[in-house]
Amino acid sequence: MTTTALSFETHPSRYRHWKLSVDGELATLTMDVDPQGGLKPGYELKLNSYDLGVDIELADAVQRLRFEHPGVRCVIVESANERVFCAGANIPMLGGSTHAWKVNFCKFTNETRLSIEDASRHSGQKYLAAVAGPCAGGGYELALACDEIILVDDGASTVSLPEVPLLGVLPGTGGLTRLVDKRKVRRDRADVFCTTSEGVRGKRAVEWRLVDAVAPKSKFAEAKRARALALAAQSASKAKGPGVTLEPLSPTFDGDVVRYQYVTFSVDAEKRRANVTVQGPKGAQPQTADEIQAAGSAQWSLRAFRELDDALLRLRALHLTIGLVVLETRGDLEAVRSVDEALYAAREHWLASEIIAFQARVLRRLDLTSRSIFALVDEGSCFAGALFEAALAADRIYMLADDAGKVAVRTSALNGGALPMTHGLTRLETRFLGDAAQVARVLATEGAIATTDADELGLVTVAPDSIDWEDDVRIALEERASMSPDALSGMEASLRFAGPETGDSKIFARLSAWQNWIFQRPNAVGPQGALTKYGQPDRPVFDWTRC
């Protein structure tokens, strides 16, 4: 695909696969996949199966519900097809995709499911999966991301995770982890469930904790609405004002350069390198909750991080040979800090809270991007607060030594825990694991932190002087881009997440390691593999060696 062929931006008026309706405190997301609406030619999206295009619309809907419909307290996810809820990821699409496309597809789908759970935790928007018909694989994983699942008790509606017996792969979007960690399904029952391709129905599904309730078809609509209203009543959502419209980003394209209002994204295919530069805020910025509300999606933190998010998604999907991201910023350090402080001071206001939560999600996407990331801090940089978090997400930070103190970084109120990583720690806590005193010293440092002090505080990897800066940076970038991308992806994923695990981090760790590995094994994708042979009359042929 070309740079402009795939867009991660859409709007409900352009959805082909979902219908979004809002009725007071309840919203309904109806899955109605267009079989001919695949993102690429060569497969039909039968039985509400999905590809990346379907999930781009879902991600957009979840995001818009938070910003444009803040009064919604419960979202019902259902199917327009009475014969099936969702058959999961489209198998011919997976079988015909490159390994890199499969993994990045699973990663985006994971992040979309996590955004549903994040909306429940932080926005008071609960999700109810109303399942009628078979609900298989990724379809059940979508249901698992919801707060509750209600299933039609009609003898035909089932839930299943059939990937192991049918495809020789794993549920790719957190299904195994959510079964045992979130729904507390007993391990032996989970084992039976995940190796039984026909799935589980009715009262057994409730007994095994695979769903929360069942209802006969004649009473399903009534039971669905009752459970949705009960979930809405449980919402701890704070009082909210009118929603704000998420205006289009409308980037411009000039060859391999994508320009947004605040972000510039460029790639150099020959050097296998991408540059991402974020421009800080200019001019007067909203300082109060009312001013933040009035600014809407034009507010710098929301706009700039939406642009950064879009650039990261383009990098992942369209530039698979780019191995290194050079992250830079330009602007006024104090201006960035001031915007952060205003947001934090107004965090009890619904929109300020949503913006901070969104910044946290974008930064987690950066953490989880399988590219080397080097942050360059020089004169004119504005790595403060939320942008300083982006630097801390980098694998290395190069900071120009400067006796005049014109090169600096700065913390803000957002660095103290408002923007956590996937495993629950802040990036400073992860950097200085087990050393709370050092984290406190960094956060207690007032004003701009010049290079010498930043180096002393452990915030810098290398601090070359002006004579060596250009050569040291160039050599480091060239050296990194020359290394094995497979080894680097494994190394970076291991080093970035020091410390404890959460359900979220387990999902991504297992995707990065086990599913990534299984997706390349002949038993799954070889000429006689299960994924290759799916739907054909002859059975797969397995290499029975365990390793």
Per-residue pLDDT tens over the stretch 418-453? 999 999 999 999 999 999 999 999 999 999 999 999
Question: Strands 148-152, 213-215: parallel, antiparallel or unpaired by DSSP?
Answer: parallel
pLDDT category at 331 given cuts 50, 70, 90 is: very high
Question: CA angle 121-124-130, nearest 5°?
Answer: 90
User: How many angstroms separate the CA atoms of 474 and 254, rounded?
Assistant: 25
Q: Where is average pLDDT lowest: 232-246, 290-304, 396-410, 464-478? A: 232-246
Say which CATH class 12-234 falls into.
Answer: alpha beta
Q: Over pLDDT 90: what percentage of the chain?
A: 91
Distance CA 137, CA 423 (A): 25
Taking only Cα atoms into account, the Rg of the chain, rounded to an integer number of angstroms, comes to 24
The stretch 297-302 carries a mean pLDDT of 98
* DSSP 8-class letter at 47: G
490 or 309, which is more confident? Answer: 309
- Which tokens is 177 given? 């982890």
- Helices 350-367 & 385-393 angle (0-180, nearest 10): 20
Question: What residues are paired with 150 via a beta bridge?
Answer: 130, 213
> SS3 for 507?
helix
> In whole angstroms, what is the distance from residue 9 CA to residue 61 CA?
11
Mean confidence (pLDDT) of the chain = 95
Taking every pair of Cα atoms in the chain, the longest distance, rounded to a whole number of angstroms, is 78
Rounded to 5°, the CA angle 430-436-438 comes to 90
35: confidence class by pLDDT, cuts 50, 70, 90: very high
Q: How far is CA 391 from CA 307, 356, 370, 373, 411, in A?
A: 17, 17, 16, 9, 11
**What is the percent of the chain where pLDDT is above 70?**
99
- Res 3 pLDDT > 50: no
The mean pLDDT value for 57-78 works out to: 97
Among residues 467, 481, 463, 360, the alpha carbon closest in space to that of 408 is found at 463
The HSE-up count of residue 340 (CA atoms within 13 Å, CB side) is: 28
Check: CB of residue 402 under 8 Å from CB of residue 351: no
* Residue whose C-alpha is closest to residue 359's, from 316, 399, 299, 408: 299
In b/e form, how buried is each residue of 145-158, taking b as 16+ CB within 10 angstroms? Answer: bbbbbbbbbbeebb
Q: How confident is the model at residue 511 (pLDDT cuts 50, 70, 90)?
A: confident
- Is 253 within 8 Å of 3 (Cβ atoms)? yes
Protein fold of 252-489: 2-enoyl-CoA Hydratase; Chain A, domain 1 (3.90.226)
pLDDT confidence of residue 4: 46
* pLDDT confidence band for 535 (50 / 70 / 90): confident
Q: What stretch of H or E contains 61?
A: helix 52-68
Which of 524, 528, 490 is closest to 509 using CA atoms? 490
Kindly report the pTM of this predicted structure: 0.96
Hey, what are 150's tokens?
């209600």
Nearest-CA neighbor of 424 among 497, 352, 347?
Answer: 497
pLDDT at 235: 85
* Residue-wise pLDDT tens digits, 151-193: 999 999 999 999 999 999 988 889 999 999 999 999 999 999 9
Structure-token pair, residue 104: 């990045």
Cα distance between residue 159 and residue 183, in whole Å = 14
* Strand-pair partners of 274: 267, 325
Q: What backbone phi and psi angles, to 5 degrees, belong to 311?
A: -65, -40
121, 69 contact by CB (below 8 A): no
CA distance linking residue 278 with residue 312, whole number of Å: 12
- List the domain boundaries for the chain: 12-234, 252-489
Q: In whole angstroms, give the CA distance from residue 374 to residue 462.
A: 11
Asked whether the beta carbons of 349 and 397 are under 8 A apart, the reply is no
324, 371 in Cβ contact below 8 A?
yes
Average pLDDT over residues 18-22: 98
